[in-house]
Structure 1
Amino acid sequence: MKLKSVVINLALMAVSAGLIVGVAEVASRYMVPISPGPSLLSTDGKPIRQSYVEPSSQYRIITPDFDALTTITKDGYRGPASSGNPDTLFLGDSFTFAQGVTDEQAFPYLYCKAKNLDCANLSVPGASTIYTISRLEHYLNVKGWAPNNVFLFFFTGNDFTDNLWADEQRRNGRNYEPLELSPEQEDAVHNSLPPHKQLISKALKYSNLLRVLYYKVLPEIRQQGDNSGQRAQLEKALAITKESFDRLQVLSDEYAFNYRIFVIYPEPEVRLGVFKQMDEKLQAIAPSEITSLGELFSKDSQQYFFPADGHFTMSGNRLLADFLIKELP
C-alpha cells in the first residue's frame, strides 16, 4: 500500500508540475514573447534555406510577429535596386535591412523616396561592423560606386558580440561573414556543438519559457556574478568597434564621401532610458559625432518594436524615416 501511495503522489506531483510549466509557458508567450528566430519561405510558401542576400531572389521572412515579402537585387542587396551609381548607401544589420517589413515600408526606402535619391541598402542581418565595412569596401572597389553619403547604423543589442565573434574568426583566418549568408556554415556550427547544446538549441525553438530563461534570466545572473568580466568584454568590443569606425573614416577620405554613424538601441533600453551612458562610450571611440536614436523611440516605445522579434514595426520604420528626412540634407 505504501508503494502504491508513493507512486500516486509522485504521479500527482508530476501532473501538477506539468500544469505549472504549461501555464508558465502560455503566460510567457503573452507577457515576455521572444521569437524563436526567423524562417525563410518562398513566395509560394515553401520552406527554403538560402543566403539572406541571394542575388535576384524574392522570399518571405516569417516570425510570430510578421510575414514580410523581401526582394534582393541582382547585385545582392535589398531592393529596390539602384539605377547604377547610388548617391546614398545604408549600412547595418537586420534593423537597417528592415527585417519584418516589405521593401517599400523600410526606412531607407522611405527616406530615399522622399528625398528623390538613388540609394542602395547594403545591410545584412547578423552582420558585424567589421563585415559591414568590408562589404562597403567591396562595392566601392568592385562596382566602382562613388556615393555622396554613407549612413552606418550601429545596433547595441548584438553588434558588440557580433564584432567580438568576427574579430576572432578573422584573426584565426576563418570566414567572418554572418551565418545568415551561409546556411551550410550555420549547419556546420550547429552540428559541431556538443549533444547537450544541440538539444538546448532545439528546445529553444519550441519553448518561449526556455527562451525567457536562457536569454533574459541567465544573462542577468551571469552579469551580477561577474561584473569585471562583463566590463572587460565590453572594453574589448569597443576597441574592435573603434577599428571599424576608423576604417570608415579612412574610406571616407579615400573615396570622398560623407558619412554619419547612427546608434539604435533595443526596446527595453529605450523604454528604461539606460542608453545615455552607452552614447558616451560610443562617442568616445567614434572619429566623428554620432547620432543616438534612443530618445527618438523613447515615447511609447513599444509601438515601434515588434514584441517577440524586437525589430522595427512599420511605425518604427516610418518614425525613423521621418527623422532622417528632417535631420539630413
Structure 2
Amino acid sequence: MSSWHSFSDEDWTFNPGSGSLFGHGGGIGDFATSYAVDTSLGTMLNGRVSAEIRLTSPSGTGAGLVCRADLGWTFVAFHTMSPNPVDHTAVARFSVLQEGVLVPVAQLPEPITLSRGYNHFSLEFYSGRMRGEIRTGKHEYELLATCPHVPFAGHVGLVKFYGATMVGRSVTAERTLMPFVTSTVLERTRRRQDFAYDVFLCHATADAPEVERLGERLRERGIRCWLDSGEIQFGDRLTQKIQEGLRASRFVLPCISPNFPKSIWAQAEYGYVLNAELGGDASRTVVPLMLADAVLQQIPELLQEVRRVNTRNQVEFEEFIAFLLSH
C-alpha cells in the first residue's frame, strides 16, 4: 500500500497486511474533506474504480470514490453525504473539488440507506459522462451525470467528509477504451430481437474476399451479418440499402486494413453510427476489426480510443463472438 498518497498522515492509515485503508478525522474546508489516491496506476482519463467502504457511523458523515484527482485538491467524486447526525439516510452525489472548493454536480433524488457493514461503491468515467453505483446488500443505487469540469487525466482513490471514520478495502481500478454501458442502455441493447442483424461489416472494396471469409466465420457461430455482397442486388439503390442495413444492425464493424483509409463509402458507413453514438444514441456501437495486414496507424482518428478486435488473435476473436452473443 506504499503507493497510496494522502495529504495528511494523520487522516489516513494504510495496512499492507489486510490491504485496507483507514480514514479517521481530519479534513479541510467547510465539509472537512480528505482524500487518498493510488499513484501506482498512473493517471487515467477514462476508467473505472471500485471499493468496499464501511463507515463506522453512517449518520452524519460521508465517503466515496474519486477520479481524475491531482495532488493539489482537485478531483471528481462519487460519494454519500449525510449532514444530519440524527438521520439514518444519506444522499448520493457527484461533486467536483477544485482548489479546495466543493461544488455539487448531481444528486440522486431518492435517499439511500447504507449498510452498517461494507457497501460496494463503483465509479465509471468516460469523457464527460459519469456513472456511480452503490450496492448495500439490500439495495442498488445508480446515479448518472454529465461532468465536464475536470477534463484531464488524474489518479483514483477514496474520499471522506465531515472528519468521518471509515475503512476501504478491495480497491480496484482499470483504464477503459469504450464508453461504459449504463443499466438503462443495457435494457435497450440486450433485446437482440430488436435488430435484424447483429453486425454490419463495413469494408473497402479491395478487402471484399477477406471480409466475406470473415462473415462466414461469424455466421458459423450464429452471428447475423449484414454484408453488401449478400444484401445488395442488381438494380438496388446503394444508399437506401446501406442505410436500411445500418438501422437494422446492432454493431457496426469497420474492417481496418491498408485500403480502409482510402474508402469513402466505408468512412461514410461507420461515420453514420459514430455520429449518433457521440450524440448520445447508444443503441448502436462501432467496434473496429483489425484485418490481417492492418496496423494501428490505419485506424481513423475518431476510433483510436475505441476498443478494437484483432481478427488474427484467435483468443480475442472468440471473446468478441461471445460478447456479441451475450448482447
Q: Is TM (by shorter chain) over 0.5?
A: no
Larger radius of gyration: 2
TM-score in terms of structure 2 length: 0.28
TM-score in terms of structure 1 length: 0.28
More strand by share: 2
